[in-house]
């Protein structure tokens, strides 16, 4: 990836907060700034276009806890499949397994903060794990959404659902 040097003016209080955060996280301030700019340029315009909004996790938990399992599954089915493909095409201009993995990482973990995401590849099997604290209905929702989307990609997969985790093993 090419980089270029640019100068920007920032308020002194913002610089102080940036330097404190960098020290606390033990990373360069430039990493934080680059991530913030990338979010503003790559994520926020498309998130607005896709109707994505920020919401407190406690509100999400309340909503998931008050759905029936069948409602959660139906919602997942409607958000996966064609809608999942449309989201990936909007974001990446492609609908492939690689974009599926990136979508799961980006929306749920990096920018969404809804779950922790792990991805690995071992012996011809891709392993995706999403850990969360939103309860069984959220797992059901994610499982249904992922299943509908993976079916469109015509991939062999196995899912394991639990109270706070969805695991997917994909063979390609």
Spell out the per-residue pLDDT of the chain, length 172, in tens.
688 888 889 999 999 999 999 999 999 999 999 889 988 998 888 888 888 888 899 999 999 999 999 999 999 999 999 999 999 998 899 999 999 999 999 888 888 889 999 999 999 999 999 999 999 999 999 999 999 999 999 889 999 999 999 999 999 7
Domain check: are 61 and 41 in the same one?
A: no
5 domain residue, yes or no: no
Domain check: are 60 and 45 in the same one?
A: no
62 domain residue, yes or no: yes
Residue with tokens 């993995």: 101
4 domain residue, yes or no: no
Contact partners, residue 135, CB within 8 Å, separation at least 6: 61, 64, 65, 163, 164
- The per-residue pLDDT for 27 is 93
Closest listed residue to residue 80, CA positions, set 63, 98, 52, 103 = 103
- The per-residue pLDDT for 49 is 84
Domain check: are 82 and 143 in the same one?
A: yes
Domain check: are 93 and 117 in the same one?
A: yes
Domain check: are 41 and 17 in the same one?
A: yes
**CA 170 to CA 138: how far, in whole Å?**
21
Domain check: are 111 and 63 in the same one?
A: yes
Domain check: are 93 and 161 in the same one?
A: yes
Distances (CA, A) of 19 to 27, 110, 158: 10, 21, 45
Domain check: are 19 and 76 in the same one?
A: no
**CA 144 to CA 100: how far, in whole Å?**
14
- The per-residue pLDDT for 38 is 87
Residue 164: other Cβ atoms inside 10 A: 15
Closest listed residue to residue 155, CA positions, set 89, 76, 97 = 97
Q: Which two tokens stand for residue 98?
A: 């690689």
6 domain residue, yes or no: no
127 domain residue, yes or no: yes
- The per-residue pLDDT for 48 is 87
At residue 9, φ and ψ (nearest 5 deg) are -95, 130
Domain coverage including residue 91: 54-171
Domain check: are 84 and 59 in the same one?
A: yes
2 domain residue, yes or no: no
- The per-residue pLDDT for 113 is 87
- The per-residue pLDDT for 52 is 82
162 domain residue, yes or no: yes
- The per-residue pLDDT for 61 is 94
Domain check: are 38 and 91 in the same one?
A: no
Domain count, the chain: 2
């Amino acid at each position: 990836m090419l980089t270029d040097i640019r100068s920007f003016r920032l308020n002194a209080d913002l610089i102080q907060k940036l330097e404190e955060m960098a020290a606390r996280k033990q990373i360069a301030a430039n990493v934080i700034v680059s991530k913030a700019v990338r979010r503003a340029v790559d994520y926020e315009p498309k998130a607005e276009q896709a109707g994505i909004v920020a919401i407190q996790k406690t509100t999400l938990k309340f909503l998931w806890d008050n759905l029936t399992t069948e409602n959660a599954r139906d919602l997942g089915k409607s958000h996966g499949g064609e809608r999942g493909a449309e989201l990936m095409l909007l974001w990446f201009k492609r609908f492939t397994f690689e974009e599926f993995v990136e979508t799961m990482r980006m929306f749920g973990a990096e920018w969404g903060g809804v779950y922790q995401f792990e991805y690995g590849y071992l012996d011809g099997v891709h392993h995706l794990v999403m850990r969360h604290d939103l309860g069984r209905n959220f797992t059901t929702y994610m499982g249904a959404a992922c299943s509908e989307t993976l079916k469109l990609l015509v991939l062999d997969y196995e899912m394991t659902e639990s109270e706070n985790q969805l695991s997917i093993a994909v063979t390609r």
